[in-house]
Structure 1
Amino acid sequence: MWRRHHDPMPLGVVDVGANTVRLLVKAGDNVIHRRRAMLGLGQAVELFGEIPGEKVDEAAWTVAAFVIDARAHGAERVEVLVTSPGRQATNGDALIERLAEISGAPVRVLSSEEEGQLGFQGALNALRVPPRETLAVVDVGGGSAQIAIGTKRDGATWVRSIDLGSMRLTSRLLQGNPPGREAMEAARREVRAALIGIEPPFAEEGLAVGGSARALRELTGPTLTAEALRRAESILTYTPHDQLVEVWNIEEDRVPTIAAGTVILSALQEIVNVPLRVRRGGLRDGALAELEQRIRAARAA
């Protein structure tokens, strides 16, 4: 398709995470199409250490359908990114091979540092902040969580990750409906133990991205302060899942893991020591921006 040299090109990325497989198609800052499917790969990793064959096939055919969908919406290039399931599963290589075989698209596993850096870049897309202002971006996924700190000018210069996300913590300790006080206390101890030795540098402002943070807005509003997170934890400790849907308007497929996500976000907010504004952008937005940069650089070479 003809386009001017500097026109934004429609691109797609499929993000294979511990909770969800997500598709995002954008042209520059313009969102063309979104789609998601809840597969729960991280739960299988937590329970078995690997992803069962039938679950690998389900993921592969889901990704293939998303790639076709992205191209139908005009995406000139589509890439598949695998986060914690590819790093944590003992058969991560088999998952990657099957995704590539069935989808026909390039597939790569992101390191935890790459995941944090792309999440940082995506969170800052279209955000007006001074170029030298230091920001912390917190991203709680299903199988891991990242803290990235840097500036809009330099990108993320400090990134740390823990192999504990909302799906993994739920599988270990928070399967009750509601979880109750003792389980929530145990979950807090688990998160604190995972964060030992992580000491973020100073940040002037904080952002939170990811599904857990977005779902929490119904309980906390658009900014996750320490007080708002404590209040949310209290509600989630004692409120049954059906009431979270009916009274608090939380998406049904997010409800089983939201208590775990809140515990992790609360611990991360405490150590970065700034309120966290919830942002829609994140990993997929950063990945698309990075993909476009690579394509343009290759064409200019």
Structure 2
Amino acid sequence: MNGPVAVVDCGTNTIRLLITGPDGNGGLSEIERRTKIVRLGQGVDATGEFHPDALARTFAQAEQYADLIKSQDIPAERVRFIATSASRDVSNRDEFLEGIRQRLGVTPDVITGDEEAALSFAGALSGADDPHTPVLVTDIGGGSTELIIGNAAGTADHAVSLDIGSVRVTERFLHDDAPSADDLGRAAAYIDQLLDGEQIEWPAVRTWIGVAGTLTTLAAVDLDLTEYDRSKVHGHQIRIADLNAISARLSALSAEQIRGLGAVDPQRADVISAGALIATRIAARLQVGSLTVSEADILDGAALELIGTER
């Protein structure tokens, strides 16, 4: 495939768009990339269904993405809509699928956790600079966290998707603004239980790469950016000690105070503390000195798959 493709990734917290094409060297030439927080997974953990307001927000953004895809000088040869954690088990999934089909003209792929992990790994490695094997790629989403271990050539050896995400952990455990020490402790214990249940050789990991909104936001906070800058975030390394300090700092702030940090999307302010907590519990199991944050993620992996390009 020589022309551009468009990929939409809809998770628990965000809906994101990538329009891109092949760069001629086995990679991607980005045309457009957008992110919007719609909180599709609002209340899903408790109710098992999409809230009407969440569907309305998601459909409205899907319409905007459809218009943006159509407005390109060179039309996308293929469009793929990927739905992840929040869409897997809800009772009103068909309403969501039909709403997206009407607006974008494609049937959403509700991918498994394993598929999500594989695409995230491929995308992260496409933007990595000489990582050392074994590589751990981590995607902390709103409803789930993907952990993928593989080699620097881009081959994933082990992948797991856990039901711990920034929205899910916030709704289940962190009820106060800011969260209490007891609530943080209960959340950490739950996260630890799920992490410890996986057969992962944590100490063997040589390179830790983090993708998607939670970890890119933490990189922006570490950089003390007054506004988000993708070019500065990509490839930034957060020292583990600094990651722990950021998590402690955020958990002591109210959502309103976090909104005052220019690097944090205002709509992410109420769940970023939970995301940071998940990151620190993963870090506690590793022997690496830092987390490398990548702006290349599942969108890039899915686009490479559509184009039929291998790294």
Q: Taking structure 2 as the reference length, what is the TM-score of the superposition?
A: 0.84
**2:151 — aligned with what?**
151
**2:291 — aligned with what?**
276
Q: Is the 8 A contact 2:39 2:54 kept in 1?
A: no
Q: 1:249 to 1:107 in 2, by over 3 A?
A: closer
2:148 partner letter: A
**2:13 — aligned with what?**
19
**1:173 — aligned with what?**
173
Match status 1:203 vs 2:205: yes
2:241 partner letter: E
Q: 1:286 to 1:116 in 2, by over 3 A?
A: same
Q: Is the 8 A contact 1:60 1:99 kept in 2?
A: yes
Residue by residue over 1:133-159, the C-alpha shift from the partner in whole angstroms, topping out at 9 and shown as x without a partner, is 321100000000011011243521110
**2:33 — aligned with what?**
34
Shift of 1:164: 1.5
Query: Which is further off, 160-169 or 228-237?
Result: 228-237
Q: 1:248 to 1:57 in 2, by over 3 A?
A: closer
CA distance in 1, matches of 2:280, 2:89: 24
Q: 1:68 to 1:105 in 2, by over 3 A?
A: farther
Shift of 1:203: 2.1
CA distance in 2, matches of 1:182, 1:219: 25
**2:271 — aligned with what?**
257
Q: 1:64 to 1:79 in 2, by over 3 A?
A: farther
Q: Is the 8 A contact 2:113 2:161 kept in 1?
A: yes
**1:293 — aligned with what?**
308
CA distance in 2, matches of 1:270, 1:145: 16
Structure possessing the higher relative contact order (Cα contacts under 8 Å, 6 or more residues apart) = 2
Residue by residue over 1:115-146, the C-alpha shift from the partner in whole angstroms, topping out at 9 and shown as x without a partner, is 1110011111143326x832110000000001
> Which secondary structure state, in structure 2, belongs to the residue aligned with residue 80 of structure 1?
strand
> Which secondary structure state, in structure 2, belongs to the residue aligned with residue 244 of structure 1?
helix
1:213 partner letter: L
Q: Is the 8 A contact 2:148 2:156 kept in 1?
A: yes
**1:240 — aligned with what?**
254
**2:243 — aligned with what?**
229
> Which secondary structure state, in structure 2, belongs to the residue aligned with residue 142 of structure 1?
coil
CA distance in 2, matches of 1:148, 1:203: 11
**2:226 — aligned with what?**
none
Residue by residue over 1:34-88, the C-alpha shift from the partner in whole angstroms, topping out at 9 and shown as x without a partner, is 2232221212312311113454354334323312312322322211000012113
1:57-68 equivalences under 5 Å are 57-68=56-67
Q: Is the 8 A contact 1:44 1:51 kept in 2?
A: yes
Name the Cα RMSD after superposition. 2.3
Q: 1:248 to 1:55 in 2, by over 3 A?
A: closer
CA distance in 2, matches of 1:90, 1:187: 26
Q: 1:220 to 1:88 in 2, by over 3 A?
A: farther
Unaligned runs of 5+ in 2: 23-27, 224-235
Q: Is the 8 A contact 1:23 1:70 kept in 2?
A: no
2:59 partner letter: A
Residue by residue over 1:80-109, the C-alpha shift from the partner in whole angstroms, topping out at 9 and shown as x without a partner, is 000012113233244223322332124211
Q: Is the 8 A contact 2:122 2:154 kept in 1?
A: no
More helix, by proportion: 1
**2:122 — aligned with what?**
121
1:267 partner letter: R
**1:212 — aligned with what?**
214
Q: 1:98 to 1:243 in 2, by over 3 A?
A: closer
Q: Is the 8 A contact 2:50 2:92 kept in 1?
A: yes
Q: Is the 8 A contact 2:84 2:112 kept in 1?
A: yes
> Which secondary structure state, in structure 2, belongs to the residue aligned with residue 168 of structure 1?
helix
CA distance in 1, matches of 2:206, 2:176: 37
Query: Which is further off, 75-84 or 89-98?
Result: 89-98
CA distance in 1, matches of 2:62, 2:5: 15
Q: 1:126 to 1:100 in 2, by over 3 A?
A: same
Unaligned runs of 5+ in 1: 297-301
CA distance in 2, matches of 1:45, 1:245: 24
Q: Taking structure 1 as the reference length, what is the TM-score of the superposition?
A: 0.87
**1:299 — aligned with what?**
none
